[in-house]
Chains A and B, each alone.
Chain A
Amino acid sequence: MYSKTSGPPSRWPERDARAGASRHVSLTPAPAPPSETEPGDADVSAQLLLAFAPLHKRALGLAIGSVCGLGVFALTVFHVIARPGYALNLYLLAQYFYGYTVSWQGAFVGAWWGFFTGFVGGWFLAFCRNFAVAASLFLSRTRAELEDTRDFLDHI
C-alpha cells in the first residue's frame, strides 16, 4: 500500500521521489508487478531476510538444552570416575537441581535438569532476540513513515 507502483497516482510526486530510497527497503507490503521490479530487489530481500528473520525458539532451546544437559552429564561422570580430590563442589548443584547427586544416577538427573534449564534459557534468548529485532523494525518503520509525512502541510 506504500508502493508507488501499486497504488493510485500520487498526489505528491516529489515527496515520493525523495522517499523512494527508504521505501525500497521498507518492510511494509508493497506488491509490485514483476515487470517493474529492479534487478537488485532479490538481493535486498535476501539481505533483509538474513538480517531480520526470527530465530526458531524451540530449536535454539533444544540446541542449548542439549549442550547444557550433555555438559552437566559429562561433568558429573568425570567426577564419578576420576574422583578429583580438590575440585569444584559439584554436589552444590543439588541446591537448584532437585534430586541431583554426584553419582551415575545423579548424572542422568543432572542431564535432565541441564537440558531443561538450557531449553528455557535458549527459548528465552531467542524470544528476547526476536522481540528486540521486531521492536527495532517497528521503530524504523514508524520513523520512516513519520519522515514521509513530515512535509505534509507543504503540499496543501
Chain B
Amino acid sequence: MDQDIELSHAIQRLNERAWGIALGLMLGGGLFLATLILVLRGGPNIGAHLGLIAVYFPGYSVSFLGSLVGFIYGFVLGYGVGRVVGLVYNRVVGFTS
C-alpha cells in the first residue's frame, strides 16, 4: 500500500467526546486554578474582576467553594463547546469528502 499517497488523501476525524472532555477540563481546570490562586493569595478585595463571571455562572464566587462551582460550570461549557466543534468539523469533513 502506498502509505504516503494514502496519508495525503486521509483527513483526520475528531472524537467529539474526547474534544468535549479535553476542552471541558481545560476550561474547568483553568477557572478552578485561577480562582484558587486568587483565594490563596488573599488581599483586601479578592478577585474583583474574576468575580464578574458570577453574572453568567450563578453561584460562582471567588472562594474555595466557588472554585469548585466554577470548575463544574467551566467543564460543562467546555464540554459543550468541544462537542459542537467536533460535530461541526466531522459534518464538514463528511460533506466535503
Judge if A93 is at the interface, Cβ distance under 8 Å. Answer: no
Interface size on B, residues (CB 8 A): 23
Judge if B81 is at the interface, Cβ distance under 8 Å. Answer: yes
Q: Chain B residues with Cβ under 8 A from A84's Cβ?
A: 55
Contacts A53-B11, A56-B96, A84-B55 given: A66-B4 contact, CB under 8 Å? Answer: no
A43 to B2, CA, bound (A): 14
Instruction: Specify the chain B residue showing the minimal Cβ separation from A84.
Output: B55
B89 engages A48 (CB within 8 Å): no
A59 engages B2 (CB within 8 Å): no
B31 to chain A, nearest CB (A): 15
A49 engages B10 (CB within 8 Å): yes
Q: Chain B residues with Cβ under 8 A from A59's Cβ?
A: 11, 88-89, 92-93, 96
B89 engages A54 (CB within 8 Å): no
Interface size on A, residues (CB 8 A): 32
A35 to B7, CA, bound (A): 23
A56 engages B93 (CB within 8 Å): yes
A78 engages B56 (CB within 8 Å): yes
Contacts A58-B92, A63-B89 given: A48-B12 contact, CB under 8 Å? Answer: no
Known: A59-B96, A62-B88, A63-B84. 12 other contacts (CB 8 A): A29-B4, A29-B5, A31-B1, A32-B1, A41-B1, A48-B3, A54-B12, A56-B89, A59-B11, A62-B92, A66-B84, A88-B52
Q: Which A residues fall within an 8 A CB radius of B?
A: 27-32, 37, 41, 45, 48-50, 52-56, 58-60, 62-64, 66-67, 71, 75, 78, 84, 86-88
